[in-house]
Each structure stands twice: as C-alpha cells, then as structure tokens.
Amino acid sequence: SLHTIPHSDKAKTVNVDLQTDATLQVDISDALSERDKVKFTVHTKSTLPNFKQNEFSVVRQHEEFIWLHDSFVENEEYAGYIIPPAPPRPDFDASREKLQKLGEGEGSMTKEEFTKMKQELEAEYLAIFKKTVAMHEVFLCRVAAHPVLRKDMNFHVFLEYNQDLSVRGKNKREKMEDFFKNVVKSADGVLVAGVKDVDDFFEHEKTFLLEYHNRVKDASSKSDRMIRSHKSKSPHCLIISTCLGKFFLKVSELFEKTRKIEARVAADEDLKLADLLKYYLRESQAAKDLLYRRGRALVDYENANKALDKARAKNKDVLQAETSQQVCCQKFEKISESAKQELIDFKTRRVAAFRKNLVELAELELKHAKGNLQLLQSCVGVLKGDT
Amino acid sequence: MAASSRRNPPPLPGAENQDPLSEMADEDSDEGEDIFVGNSNPVAEAFQPDTANGEEPADLFSEAETSTAVNSSITTSKSNGVHSDNENDLFAEVSVELSMENPSTTAKSSGAEFTPSLTRSATQPESMEQLEEEKDEDSFDMEVAVTNPEKIGDGMNAYMAYKVSTRTTLPMFRNRTFSVWRRFSDFLGLYEKLSVKHSLNGCIIPPPPEKSVVGMTKVKVGKDDSSSADFVERRRAALERYLQRVVCHPSLLQDPDVREFLERDELPRAVGTHTLSGAGFLKMINRASDAVSKMTIKISDSDAWFDNKLQEVESEELQLRKLHAVVDSLVNHRKELCGNTAVFAKSMAMLGNSEDNTALSRALSQLAEVEDKMETLHQEQAASDFFILAELLADYIRLLGAVRGCFEQRMKTWQRWQEAQSTLQKKREVEAKLLWANKPDKLQQAKEEITEWEGKVTQYERDFDRISVTVRKEFLRFEKEKSKDFKSQIVKYLESLLQSQQRHVKFWEAFLPEAKAIA
C-alpha cells in the first residue's frame, strides 16, 4: 500500500529550540511507503556556498540514514560530541499483521464492524508511518543544528547527491563484526566506567546518565505496554456500540463517539509520552557513548603517561613515548572541552522537550476528558429527559 | 464481603415506629450508602469515603426512593415508587386487571386480601385490546432489600446468610417494616415453589441467580480476598434484583410462599435444591420445549403474534449473549490496563527520582501520581462495567429463557387440547361402531366416555385460552419492565462513567500547572 504525507502534517515531538537558521534548513517534505521500504524526500534550503543550489531535494531510504549516522560515529574528529541517535527502522510488521488478521476474520463480524475496524487499522498504519517520518526528520534536523556536524562532508553528500548513494545494508560478516565490536565495547565500557574521573562534573554525569538511562528504558517499555492496553479496548467497544444500537440508538452513538475519543487519547499518549521516552532513551545512550569515548581517551592518556615515565626511566624510545603521550593528551582535552558543553546542551534540550510534551499531553488529556464528559452529560440528559 | 459485614444495619423498627434516619446520620457515612444508591460502586475496594454519595444519611429505604427501588422499573429520577409523577394521568383511566383467576393460587381467588394502596377501579379486561391498553400498574408500595451478607459457620458447612428487609403498606403483611435472615437455598426454594404453582399458567417466573460451586467454596474456605468479596457482593445484588422482580409481579406477590419468605422468622430448610437449581429447572423446560417447538402447525389467528414474539425473544437472547461476552472481555481488558498503568506509574516515579532538574523531577513525580489515580479510575470503571452492565445482561438472558418457557408452556397446553379433541373423535367413532353392532351396555359406557372427554375438551380449550391471555399479558408487562430496567441501568452506568470522567478532568487540571512550571 502506498501512502504519502503532506508537507504540513508532521509531528516534531521531541525537539525544541533547534537553531534553524537560514543558512541550512532541512526537512522531509514527502514520503512514500512501498511494499517493504519507505522513500523519504529530503528537502534542503541553504545559503551556504558549498551547495550548488539554494534549494533542492533528494530521495533517501532508511539505510542511507544509517550510513550517515555510522559515518559520524566512526569519525574520530567527532568523538567529543553527542552523535544524534539514528532513527529506528520503519516497522510496519505489527500493523500489517493486524490488517491481515482482520481480513481473515471478516466473516465473523458484521459489515459495519469490519469497515470501522479496517478504518481504524488503516489510521494506525498511517500514524506509524507519520512517526517514522518524524523520527528521520528529527535526526537530520539535529545534525543540521549542530555547529560542527552540519559542516560534515558526508552530510552534504547525503543532502545533495541526487543519485542513489549505493549504500548497501551490512552483509552477514559485517553484522557479525558489529556484534563483536559491541561486545568488546560494552566490556570495555564497564572497565572504563570503573575508573574514577578527575573531573567532578563528568563523574556526576557518568553516575547520573547510567541511572537515568536505565530508568528511561524501563519507563519507555512500561508506557508502551500501557498504551497498547489502552488501544486494545477499542474493538470491544465497537461491538458493544453496534449491539446496543438495537436497544438504544443514542447510547450506541455515544459509545461510538467516546470510543473514538479514547482512541485519540491512546494515540496522543503514544506521541507525547511514549515517543518522548523512546527518543530520550536513544539520546541518553548517545550521551553515554560520549562519556565512554572520553573515558577511553582518559585511560589511554593515563596509560601514555605511565609509558612515558617508564620510557624516561629506562631512557629508551623517549621521543616516541612523548609523541604518543601528546597525541593522547590532545585527544582527551579536545573531547573533554566539547563534551562538557554537549552534556549541558543535552540537559537543556531534555528539560525543554519534556516540558513541551508534558504540557501538551496534559492539555490533550484534558481536552479529551472534557469531550467525553460533554458527550456523557448530553446523553444522560436525553435519556433521563424522555421518559 | 468485608465492608458490608462490617456494616451494622440500621435498626429496622419492629415495634418502634421510628425512622432509622437519625441513627445512621451519625455513624460512618458510607454505611448503607451502597444498598440503594444507584451510583455508588458496590465493590468493596473501591469504596471511597470521599465520594459524594456518602453525604446523605443512609436510611435503607429513603435512599431507595431516590434511586432504583423495586424492580428498577422505576427510573432513578422518580422519587417514590408509588406515585410516579407522570403516571398520575395514567391512573385516572387505568383498567387494571387483577389476575386472580389462576386456579392454582389457593386462597386468593377473589383477590380479597389484596387491597392496593392506589385508588383505582379494578375491572376485568374483556378483550385482548383492553389488555394491551393497560397502563403501568406495578408500582405497589412495596420495597425489598437484600443486605448484610454474613458468613455463618465454618469450613465446608458454612454458608452465607443475607438479611431480607421489607417495607410495605400492604395490609396483607403483619408489619410495615420487617426483616428476616435467609440463605441462598431459601431463595432457590422459593423459586421452585413458585415455578411449580405458576409456570403452568404461563407466568414468567423470575429466575434466581445461578449456583456456583467454585465461588461458594472459596467463601466457605475463608479465602478473604477480593475475588470472594466480589462474588458475595455479586450474589447479594443478584438476589436483591431477583426478589424485587418477584414482588413486582402482581400475581406472585399474592402467593403465600412469597409472603412467608419475606415474613416468617424461620423457614424450613429447602430440600432438594442441590439437585434443582434455577438453571436446572430451566434446562428441563428447555428440553421439553425443544420437542414442542418442532411442531410448526399454526394454531389460530392470534398465533402469529405469539410466533413473532417468540422469534423476537430468541433473537434478542442471542444478541444479549453476544453483548455479554463482549462486556466480559472489556472488563478483563480494563483490568489489564489497570495493572499496566500502575506499573507505569511506578516507573515514572523512579524516573522522576533520577532526574536532576528539580522542576522536571517534581513534574515527573506528579505525573506518576496522576497515572496512579488513573489506575484507580480504570479499576472502578471495570467494576461498573461489570456490576451494572454485565449483570444486567446476565439477568435478562436468564429472564428471556423464562419467557421462552412460558411460550412453550402455552404450546403444551394447546397440544393437550388437540390430543383431547382427537381422543374425543376416536370415542365418537367407537360409539358409532357400537351403535351398528347394537351392544347396549358397551354403548352406555361409550356415551359416558364421550361426555367425559367432551368435558375435557372444553376444559382444555378454556385452559388454552386462559394461558394465552396470561402469556400475552405477562409478555407485555415483561417488555415494559425490561425497557425500564435497561434504561435505568444504562443511565446508572453512564452516570458512573460521567463521574469517572469528571475526576479524570480534575486530575489533569491539577497536573497542568506542574508541567508548565518546568524550567
């Protein structure tokens, strides 16, 4: 099935106050969902001289976003920055499965019920689609807003090169390599984290992030489960409303309307709460990665110092040791310098994002509750009125 | 159920004529609130002492007047079961049929004892049309309540005793207010007695709640958890509705067994009820009716009415069953949502603790609290779904079964008449043959038999006519009751949803400023 998305219809849920200045503005102006892939139209407006035009668009797929993200991660120059987390893979499997199940169960429900449920599942599919577009867009915007990353060569190629980047997905061997790299990294991470930091700020951040990340992970999964429960009530209410129609038309209408409101509540909770938590789960991981890189650099630096002392003591390979130590020192200091600011920015972004989303969540919950209330009041009034 | 056994019932005055109002006002405000107040949630755990319902003094019966009284055929907006406001006009011209003609009801053939407190002319309906014009007549001044379940005894011999309280102005009772203690088997016994006497006349006998071995065993064994509390409360409410339907029925109310049930201090233990529960009895009827319903011969002109109505009943029963299943699963889903919300709330609280921005941390904790409150709301809503909606549906599924039983009973009566007619025919043929064969003594016998069977045919025809009238009347009364019942219960349900939403609004309104304060 194909779906396109109008330009205006997007949800920038998790980012606030991004420095979108006129020199570089990026957004996803359109998207197309085909059988097993999504094609995003990345639209750029820029006054920077490096681009051939001031406004242009290219079509990109998910793998190309991942390629870009990975290129940042692997770039030593960017070791001192929080790399904006990669957008999650578009996943319509669950939704497709539901639509399929509905098709199979068509015989067991009335035409009316079937149509309604189909509409709802299609709306759900569309919502997932919108979300994945938003996630990919947020990634690009974060990159464009970052003072250093926005200048990256690969990023410009990504934005401008109007052919396929020929970025193939990782083959099995590469995936295995990645897997082992991650294992080593997390083991190393534990080692590195064990080293007490000289700097109080970073020591505090380390502890904070570790705990925060775990709790966000927990909150994210629990919120998902809760919202799923909320959504799963819908089909039952649908049947109730059609059955009650035989007895009380007004009540059936009421149920139908409140059901729709309930569905909106679940969808809004999903957007404002669940997505928020998911995003900060990923960002807090990226922040942790930054701390790990700094920690690694610190360990390397300390080791280099020890090696230098040894070399001086033995008076052997001193120059080599000095060079090595200097390199490590520079690397460490470079990372530390930018890392501090990055972490402060992360906090600011996080607080702002939570504020925005929690306020919007509360306002929406209120709106829906009041809507429900009104419907109930009017229905009760009508029922009591005509005896 | 913990809460209700805690409650000391208001002293129902036997000798004293004092309203228990004043006594109750001083005690726990939620005592007795849940007996008749339509809106409050009967689930023990969900008792919120701060709900609005607790404000009023909880006289057992004064509450009844503001909510569902006898048979909930009186909607919640009416104040008193007797003279409903907009029914006063009806009484001016009503022709009430006092169906005292049932041959099986013993001492009441003249309706002498029954003097309704309403002044209206009591005339017999002369035709079917008049019957159908009959207005609402079942607002007697009679209220019953089933309260205070108490566990008597221990172990497997234990049982629950329920207090049955009556308030009435009907002179056939000794007192105006009185109460007795009954157990579940007593209710079943009452049903059996009534069935035996009245079902053959085509009366719709309200079926009692079903037996439940599992549920009762848990209670007996002393499992003091919410599920057995729920079970007891569910049963209490069902018994109350059952009794209310019985006393609302004009003929059944006359039955001495009903009076005895309500009044007599000690009832002889109903035996044999372990073999024959309401469901068992119904099954018997159903089996018989299956055989009868295979007959598709049209009886008479008015039969189309019965056929149609029977079909309606059957399809409605199916609808209700479907609806009941769905409501059941809705209840389960809500409970699941409940659990997940609670878990999420805790998780949010933890996150709030981790957050080092003070304002955000506080906001997250507040959010956790809001979600906690949501959980309570979901739980209450689930209980509402269940206690109000699901039970209503279950009641009517059983009642529709009883209605079907009535129709089948009528068919059986018709069958009996037809068979008598064919027997008569055969006897006449025998007589004719004997006339030819000229056997005077056998002829005499044959003539006697013919007379006998002529009498039977007439009798059975009259029976059939009578039962047709009764069934028709019963059905119309049932339809009216059902419509009122559904309406009032659904209003009650919607009102509980409404309250829930109001609290919803309050919680989020309180949270919003906290969210805005994040900086």
Report pLDDT digits (tens) over B168-203. Answer: 888 888 888 888 899 888 899 899 888 888 877 888
pLDDT at B89 over 50: no
HSE-up (13 A, CA, CB side) for residue B96: 20
Q: Which residues does chain B have within 8 Å of residue A351's beta carbon, measured at their own beta carbons?
A: 357, 359-360, 518-519
Q: Which residue has the tokens 């460490």?
A: A332
Give which of A279, A280, A325 is closest to A135, Cα–Cα. Answer: A279
Chain B residues with beta carbon closer than 8 angstroms to that of A219: 344, 347-348, 350-351
Q: B75 at the A interface (CB within 8 A)?
A: yes
Confidence bin at B57 (pLDDT 50/70/90) = very low
Among A226, A354, A366, the residue with its CB nearest the CB of B505 is A366
Say whether residue B508 is in contact with chain A using an 8 A CB cutoff: yes
pLDDT tens string B407-461? 888 888 888 999 999 999 998 888 888 888 877 788 888 888 899 999 999 999 9
Residue in this structure with the two tokens 């799923």, named with its chain if needed = A228
pLDDT tens track for B400-415 = 999 998 888 888 888 8
Return the exposure string of A179-211: e unless at least 16 CB atoms fall within 10 Å of the residue's CB, then b. Answer: eeeeeeeeeebeebbeeebeeeebeebbebbeb
Choose among B326, B343, B359: nearest Cβ to A236. B326
Q: Helices (DSSP H) in B55-139: which residue ranges?
A: 60-66, 88-93, 128-133
Say how far apart CA B71 and CA B127 lie, in whole Å: 28
Pairwise CB contact (< 8 Å): A373 & B501: yes
- With CB atoms and an 8 Å threshold, state whether A219 touches B512: no
pLDDT band at B275 (very low <50, low <70, confident <90, very high): very low
pLDDT value for A278: 92
Average the pLDDT over each of A161-165, A260-264, A367-371, B99-103 and give the range with the smallest value: B99-103
Whether residue A41 is predicted with pLDDT greater than 90 in this model: the reply is yes
Residues on chain A touching B323 (C-beta within 8 angstroms): 239-240, 243-244
Contact present, A47 and A54 (Cβ < 8 Å): yes
Give the chain A residue whose CA is nearest to the CA of B347. A219
Is the CB of B363 inside 8 Å of chain A's CB atoms?
Answer: yes
Query: Quick check: B131 contacting A, CB < 8 Å?
Result: no
* B504 interaction partners in chain A (CB closer than 8 Å): 365, 369, 372-373
B272: left (phi over 0), alpha (psi -120 to 50) or beta: left
Q: Per mean pLDDT, which range of A24-28, A270-274, B237-241, B274-278 is the poorest? A: B274-278
* Residue A284 confidence class, pLDDT cut points 50, 70, 90: very high
**Closest residue of chain A to B393, computed from CA coordinates:** A244
CA distances A99 to A91, A106, A125, Å, are: 14, 11, 9
> Residue B501 and residue A376: Cβ atoms within 8 Å?
yes
Average confidence score pLDDT of chain A: 85
Distance CA A15, CA A348 (A): 11
Contacts of A77 (CB under 8 A, 6+ apart): none
Is it the case that residue A329 has pLDDT exceeding 90? yes
At B58, the pLDDT band (50, 70, 90 cuts) reads: very low
- Restricting to B residues 474-503, those with a Cβ less than 8 Å away from any Cβ of A are 486-487, 490-491, 494-495, 497-498, 501-502
pLDDT of the residue at B15: 37
pLDDT over 90 at B93, yes or no: no
* Half-sphere exposure at residue A60, Cβ-oriented, CA atoms within 13 angstroms: 27
CB-based contact B512 A370, cutoff 8 Å = no
pLDDT band at A95, cuts 50/70/90? confident
Across the interface, do A230 and B337 touch by the CB < 8 Å criterion?
Answer: yes
Q: Do A225 and B347 touch (CB under 8 A)?
A: no
Mean pLDDT score, B105-120: 35
Q: In DSSP terms, which residues pair with A31 in a beta bridge?
A: A40
| A141 phi/psi in degrees, rounded to 5 | -65, -40
Q: Considering only alpha carbons, which residue of chain A is nearest residue B336?
A: A229
Contact residues, chain B, for A379 at CB < 8 Å: 494
B498 and A244 in contact by Cβ < 8 A?
no
DSSP-assigned letters across all residues of A232-259: HTHHHHHHHHHHHHHH-HHHHHHHHHHH
pTM (global) more than 0.95 = no
A362 vs B319, B497, B511: nearest CB = B511
Q: Is B342 at the interface with chain A, CB within 8 A?
A: no
Q: Which two tokens stand for residue B276?
A: 């024959």
If one compares A103 and B115, the residue with the highest pLDDT of the two is A103
Q: Given A216, A239, A363, which is nearest B512 (Cβ)?
A: A363
- How far away is chain B from the Cα of A218, in angstroms, using its nearest Cα? 6
Q: How confident is the model at residue B227 (pLDDT cuts 50, 70, 90)?
A: confident
Q: Return the residue of A nearest to B367 by Cα.
A: A358
The mean pLDDT of chain B is: 71
* CA dist., res. A63 & res. A60, Å (int): 8
Contact B347 A211 (CB under 8 A): no
The C-alpha of B400 sits at a distance from chain A's nearest C-alpha, in angstroms, of: 15
Contact A383 B494 (CB under 8 A): yes
Q: Which of B347, B358, B365, B506 to mutate to test the interface with A (most CBs of A within 10 A)?
A: B347
Q: For chains A and B, what is the number of CB pairs under 8 angstroms?
A: 146
d(C-alpha B51, C-alpha B60), whole Å: 18
- Rounded to whole angstroms, what are the CA distances from A273 to A276, A346, A360, B359? 5, 18, 10, 18
CB atoms under 10 Å from CB of A373, counted, come to 19
pLDDT over 50 at B286, yes or no: yes
Quick check: B515 and A358 CB within 8 A?
yes
B90 inside 8 A of chain A by CB: no
Which chain B residues are closer than 8 Å to A377 by Cβ? 498
Q: How far is A16 from chain B (nearest CA, A)?
A: 13
Could you say which of A232, A347, A369 has the minimum Cβ distance to residue B357? A347
Give yes or no for B88 touching A (CB within 8 A).
Answer: no
A51 contacts: CB under 8 Å, gap ≥ 6 = A44, A156, A159, A160
Q: Are A367 and A29 in contact (CB under 8 A)?
A: no
Distances (CA, A) of B50 to B28, B29, B55, B66, B503: 12, 9, 9, 20, 12
Distance from C-alpha of B474 to C-alpha of B329, rounded to nearest angstrom: 34
Q: Position of tokens 């001086």?
A: A312
Of A223, A246, A372, the CB nearest to B501: A372
CB-nearest partner of B340 from A229, A251, A384: A229
Determine the residue of chain A that is closest to B511 in CA distance: A362
- CB-CB contact of B157 with B181 (8 Å): no
Within the 159-188 window of chain B, which residues sit less than 8 Å (CB to CB) from chain A?
Answer: none
pLDDT score of B485? 87
Distance from CA of A241 to the nearest CA of B (A): 9
Q: Does B333 touch chain A (CB under 8 A)?
A: yes
Q: Which of the 8 DSSP states describes residue B7?
A: P
Mean local confidence (pLDDT), B279-294: 54
Looking at this predicted complex, what is its ipTM?
0.84
Chain-centroid distance of CA A371 in Å reads 31
